[in-house]
Amino acid sequence: MRAILVIFLGIVVFSCKETQVKSVTMKEDVSVLANDSLNGRKTGSTDEKKAAEYIAKRFSDIGLQPKGTDGYFQKFTFKASKNPHQEAEFTSEKNDSTETGENVVGYIDNKAENTVVVGAHFDHLGMGGEGSLYREGEAIHNGADDNASGVAMMLHLADSLQKKDSPKNNNYLFIAFSGEEEGLLGSNYFVKNPTINTKKITYMLNMDMVGRLNAENTLAVYGVGTSPILKQTVNANAGDLNIAENESGVGPSDHTSFYLADIPVLHFFTGQHEDYHKPSDDTEKVNFEGMEIVSNYIFNIIKDLDSQKKLPFRKTKNESEAVPDFKVTLG
């Protein structure tokens, strides 16, 4: 009997070791997503598809439930506009003039009434073209800061929020958006075709270009005016960060889609730099210690808001400044 028990315990221990998933660092995630092998993750490309599959695998390893329309994926078809000032159009038809992007969606179900959305876009510019600031021909635009950094931070937060001692008064929906560089396509599509009840979304957090925290620890936080408590919460948790706050819920990234659906938002951004939309935006230039600081800051905001009921939405004054065009120029 004793021998059988020893064998049983040995099998249990071995099984636990087999199912245990190695923790992945933000640096490792950025290194994969911003690798030359993905050719800049252009929306609708096979390389962007590979990036989406990597993110879905990471969601699965972390323990997130699939929350797309096809497992972790939510596909959408669009017709790209030849006019850089005109929004791309969604379409149900598939032909030679259309392209397909796909959001990647994972969920932590805490059996709560409301849900927090945490998002970051994973597409970039491919070999350049429209949107690139590089003027010397085609080259791989890896987009390490823009926006492999945001996706890596989202994955890091997902891992933290899955732990037993994490805030549990809300559910958490994590979305890696496709098509941001084409005009907020993925987030726009999700808001119009949600996989959860958007009336139960208490707020949305967006991370776009969060990998270049400077020596002054300056972090821009947009959307602090979209719900009454946000400004206080953002500043109360700042610690050593110097917060450059902006009240507007409208800006050149995916939080705008949620704000326009009357959902409070916060958008985090460590600032523009000389490598923005150029092939030189590579992994070795990312400040990973700074990313840890920003990630911990966002986690503390989530903890601070955990005791709140659904946050009330408030329109911000300068909404009209960026809404009509809906075309991305930054991030």
Instruction: Tell me the per-residue pLDDT of 186-211, one tens digit each, with 9 for 90 and over.
Output: 999 999 999 999 999 999 999 999 99
Question: What is the pLDDT at residue 97?
Answer: 61
Domains and CATH numbers, the chain: 24-321 (3.40.630.10)
Q: Which range, of 61-70, 138-147, 315-324, averages the lowest pLDDT?
A: 315-324
pLDDT over threshold 80, residue 96 = no
Question: What is the spatial distance between Cα 161 and Cα 157, in angstroms, rounded to a whole number?
Answer: 6
Under a CB-based contact definition with an 8 Å cutoff, are residues 240 and 170 in contact? no
- The 10 Å Cβ neighbour count of residue 295 is 20
Contacts of 131 (CB under 8 A, 6+ apart): 125, 181, 277, 328
Average pLDDT over residues 13-30: 69
More confident call, 213 vs 130: 213
pLDDT over threshold 70, residue 66 = yes
More confident call, 14 vs 45: 45
Task: Give the position of tokens 């891992």.
Answer: 159
pLDDT over threshold 60, residue 32 = yes
Question: What is the pLDDT at residue 317?
Answer: 83
Q: Which range, of 5-19, 65-79, 189-203, 249-263, averages the lowest pLDDT?
A: 5-19
Instruction: Write the pLDDT tens digit of every residue in 206-248.
Output: 999 999 999 999 999 999 999 999 999 999 999 999 999 999 9
Question: What is the pLDDT at residue 329?
Answer: 36
Average pLDDT over residues 111-131: 97
pLDDT over threshold 60, residue 14 = no
Question: What is the pLDDT at residue 79?
Answer: 80
Average pLDDT over residues 9-35: 71
Band of pLDDT at residue 130, cut at 50, 70 and 90: confident
Average pLDDT, the chain: 90
pLDDT over threshold 60, residue 64 = yes
pLDDT over threshold 50, residue 129 = yes
Instruction: Write the pLDDT tens digit of every residue in 271-318.
Output: 999 999 999 999 999 999 999 999 999 999 999 999 999 999 999 986
Contacts of 295 (CB under 8 A, 6+ apart): 26, 153, 156, 157, 160
More confident call, 59 vs 91: 59
pLDDT over threshold 60, residue 10 = no
**CA distances to 29, 167, 289 from 59, in Å:** 12, 19, 23
Q: What is the largest CA-CA distance in the chain?
A: 77
Question: What is the spatial distance between Cα 331 and Cα 318, in angstroms, rounded to a whole number?
Answer: 20
pTM of the model: 0.89
Question: What is the pLDDT at residue 178?
Answer: 98
Cis peptide before 147 (omega within 30 of 0): yes
201: amino acid identity, one letter = I
